[in-house]
Chain A
Amino acid sequence: MEIIRYRRDVWGEEVILGVSWDLLWVVAVTALILLAAHAIFMAVLAKKKAKPSSEGPRIKRHDAIDRAFHWIMAGSVLVLILTGIAPIVGLRISWLNIHWIAGLVLTFVVIFHIIRAIFWQDFKAMLLGPSDFKEPFDEKIKPGKYSFEQKGMHWAMTVLVIAVIATGIILFLHINTPWWNRPAVENEATLGIFFLLHGTATLGLIAFTAIHIYFAVRPEKIFYTRSMVTGWISEAEMKENHDTNKWKPE
């Protein structure tokens, strides 16, 4: 199995073409096995906890605008993944235009999110500090608004999404669009490196998207998904899962 695909350029020199798509299957199978193992572990071995009630007073967790951002971003990432892997898995659809349009949507919502997170949201609530790393190993430590896993997922997705956007914009500049004609490629080797980075980041994005979706539908976490739809969690859910000294909702 190859990791990187190479080709001969027009001068006969070996250049990078991109990441090997054999890795797509490795990522898919690995993610499936790990998530299945986790599901089995949770069903058989993990200590069962009583689920806190979703009734009673409601605590606002996400503003409508942040929920909208999340679902637009989720939709665009899924469209990007599906259209990106369509030609690799042999699905015959006219994918390229849909791909770059979804890419532009993702770019704009990410820029919006960065600005909003820095100037209007509690940016510190998402920062990972040394104390956060104790959280998974000590049941007594409860997180503030976001748990260690949520922060980890957020920052992993941040790095991967910025990587696919940055490399995607460079590749976008190399195709015909309504606004410009593609330029002549000066250096195939450099272009190949951007394809490699774009493909590698995509593989990471696929893995983390699978993990994110899995945890979003797990029974003990699904109230977070509900809050991403409705905006609230119950007071009981908050007290069970969060330290009210660290998170003081409006």
Chain B
Amino acid sequence: MSSHDVMPDMGLYQPVTVEDAAGIARQFSTRGWLVGGGQDTYGWLKDRAKRPEVLIDLKGIESMRGIRETADGIEIGALVTLTELTTNSLITGRYSLLAEAAGRVASPQIRNVGTIAGNVAQDVRCWYYRRGLNCYRAGGNLCYADTPEGMNREHALFNASRCVAVTASDTGPALVALEAQMVIHNGSSERVVSAENFFVGPNIDITHTTVLRPGEILTAVRIPAKWANAEFYFEKVADRNVWDFALVSISAAMRVNNGVIEESRLVAGAVEATPRRLDRIEQAIRGKARNQQTADEVAALAIQGARPLNFNHFKMPLLENLVNRAVRGHA
């Protein structure tokens, strides 16, 4: 499949309210495509791998912009760019984990236009799926990546149910670690889903990566005060330092008192189709000193249950080492 220089012919809607946008999205259902920053969208469309009839451009909706302080934390509008996340004082001051994660997404140019909603709702990265092949995730009957010759070094270690692609989001694991809430609007009502439950794996829905249904729009992300100014650790390992997706990433939030870990949330990225909460490690380090010894004791728990593919065994020691660093608190 070759990439095209021009966009395909399609309709364009530019609503200015969430209600109108949701109404249009409902009207066109799977034939419509929501676009914010467009960084995941335009590749699909130019490659003709996805062919929506209409684009619903959300950028004119003012209520989906801005970062606000709330009674219990902050609310981030879905159209807030990744650059804004890295520079906003509320984020950098209280939730530096998210600022760090956003700052490691792709490149400065992409961060300037890419939004937080787009980063969490983006589709998975898989050579075969992105090329437009009719694999499981595209509604087909097989996976091209999980074959003896398949290019699968970027793919999943855990919970691969037929599709072995992983989440490409850097901010997703950070939001799960911060116990964020995702605000979803369908035009007439609103529902709030925890970030942990926002992402869905292929065992639940093989053709989608989030709980968003046709006609629903992610309008905001709320981060509770619970983890404000906690001790954070973020690290992303990729083949390149700029403009690349994670091979493995780790996001950690911890409450530490006199050197002892009272509570923690550790979440790995790029090891399965959703951010992977490392709850066994969270339990194992509770009440223990935050030091190298504790890190050495628990790091191996991170890879229990891993089912590597032909070319991604390296992700296992990588994940183990990142967990080790996150627990001890330094690289």
Contacts and interface: CB of A to CB of B under 8 A. Distances in A.
Contacts of A97: 203
A34 B203 CA distance: 35
B133 A10 contact: yes
B142 A185 contact: yes
Nearest to B140: A7
B204 A92 contact: yes
B141 interface: yes
B148 A184 contact: yes
A192 B205 contact: no
B81 to A, nearest CB: 30
Given A8-B134, A192-B141, A195-B141, A96 B203 contact: yes
A103 interface: no
B144 interface: yes
A9 B144 CA distance: 11
Size category, A interface: 20 to 34
Contacts of B147: 184-185
Nearest to A182: B146
A181 B140 CA distance: 19
A175 B141 contact: no
B206 interface: yes
Given A175-B162, A182-B146, A94 B203 contact: yes
Q: Is the interface of B mostly helix, strand, loop or mixed?
A: loop
Interface string B199-236: 01001111000010100000000000000000000000
B159 to A, nearest CB: 10
Interface of A: 7-10, 17-18, 87, 90, 92-97, 174-176, 182, 184-185, 188, 191-192, 195
A197 B196 CA distance: 38
A188 B134 CA distance: 10
B142 A191 contact: yes
A96 B203 CA distance: 7
Nearest to A10: B133
B72 to A, nearest CB: 28
A168 to B, nearest CB: 14
A18 B144 CA distance: 18
Contact of B134 (A17, A90, A96, A182): A17
Contacts, number: 46
22 contacts: A7-B134, A7-B140, A10-B133, A10-B144, A17-B134, A17-B139, A17-B140, A18-B141, A92-B204, A92-B205, A94-B204, A97-B203, A176-B307, A182-B143, A182-B146, A184-B147, A184-B148, A185-B147, A188-B142, A191-B142, A192-B141, A195-B141
B140 A96 contact: no
A9 B138 CA distance: 12
Contacts of B161: 94, 96
Contacts of B200: 92
A8 B132 CA distance: 10
Nearest to A195: B141
B87 to A, nearest CB: 37
A185 B134 CA distance: 13
B206 A87 contact: yes
A103 B203 CA distance: 17
A184 B139 CA distance: 18
A71 B211 CA distance: 35
A29 to B, nearest CB: 21
A73 B140 CA distance: 30
Nearest to A194: B141
Contacts of B213: 90
A87 B162 CA distance: 14
Nearest to A90: B213
Contacts of B143: 182
A174 B140 contact: no
Contacts of B140: 7, 17
Nearest to A191: B141
A92 B141 contact: no
A120 to B, nearest CB: 40
Contacts of B148: 184
Contacts of B162: 96, 175
A185 B133 CA distance: 14
Contacts of A18: 141
Contacts of A90: 213
- Most chain A beta carbons < 10 A, residue from B141, B143, B144: B141
A191 B143 CA distance: 12
A90 B208 CA distance: 11
Contact of B142 (A87, A92, A96, A174): A174
A215 to B, nearest CB: 36
Given A17-B141, A92-B204, A185-B141, 15 more contacts: A9-B134, A87-B206, A90-B213, A96-B162, A96-B203, A176-B307, A184-B147, A184-B148, A184-B149, A185-B142, A185-B147, A188-B141, A191-B141, A192-B141, A195-B141
B134 A87 contact: no
Contacts of A185: 141-142, 147
Nearest to A174: B142
Contacts of B160: 176
Nearest to B164: A176
A93 B206 CA distance: 11
A87 B205 contact: yes
Contacts of B134: 7-9, 17
A65 B205 CA distance: 39
Contacts of B142: 174, 185, 188, 191
